[in-house]
Amino acid sequence: MRTVLITGAGIGIGRATAKAFAQAGDRVIVTDVLDAEGKAVAAEIEAEGGTAEFHALDVTSTDNAAAVVAAVEAAHGAIDILVLNAGIAHKVPLAELTDAKWDHTFEVDLKGMLRLVRPAVPAMVENGGGAVVCLSSIMGVAYGWDEHVAYSAAKSGVVGFVRGLAVELARKGVRVNGIAPGYIRTAQALSEQHSLGPEGLEKAADFIPMGRVGEPEDIADVITFLASPSARYLTGQVLTVDGGLLVGRY
């Protein structure tokens, strides 16, 4: 049984990914800053016959991240798969983009990934290898997003993080890949304050070649593929999963 740790697993893509790995027979370590939501996902997996546990995790805390990794390793041995999904996207016009707001986005969306990888990789390598999957965005690989400059920059940083880490860890048996989701029906996208809102999200379907907005499960299934033996010769890549959006805009 593989041990899979997922950040931001209480809602959206993280939740769908936790359920997908559980259905595949893996032990899922559900982590989130959202206590109630994270506990509910773990309980749901257990009720469906899967194996899961919840650990409270704020990815902006180096100590918290190290402690969670240590606790999981003490109980189950090396983590086999890391899914680094925790992220925020706050709408902030340039005039209001203070150093603190910029830094907070990077602390969650980019440095939060380092805080999990750094303590988890040594045991992963000693155990024979593993897989890391990082969540970027179409806003990090192709699009710019006005009033979300910090988010676009952080998600672009994820691409460089994936590439550099993949090369560094390749001979140690650890594969590192990423996913750049398009418009997905998540709490983030449905937020009228920070994103498209329900009406805007439905309108997006008009210019997506596949004719629909993505569901969290559409991303979760690609994540499970990237972490599987089927992707054994794939590393350092960020796959765009967007229903044809980027190639279809002309």
Catalytic residues: 151
**Run of H or E residues at 156:** helix 149-169
d(CA 94, CA 84): 27
The DSSP code sequence of 55-91 is EE--TT-HHHHHHHHHHHHHHHSS--EEEE-------
Inter-axis angle of helices 12-23 and 216-226, nearest 10: 50
Q: Can you tell me whether residue 177 is helix, strand or coil?
A: strand
> 181: closest CA among 232, 121, 140?
140
CA distances in angstroms from 208 to 13, 204, 214, 247, listed in the order given: 19, 7, 10, 10
In degrees and rounded to multiples of 5, residue 168 shows phi and psi of: -65, -35
**Run of H or E residues at 53:** strand 51-56
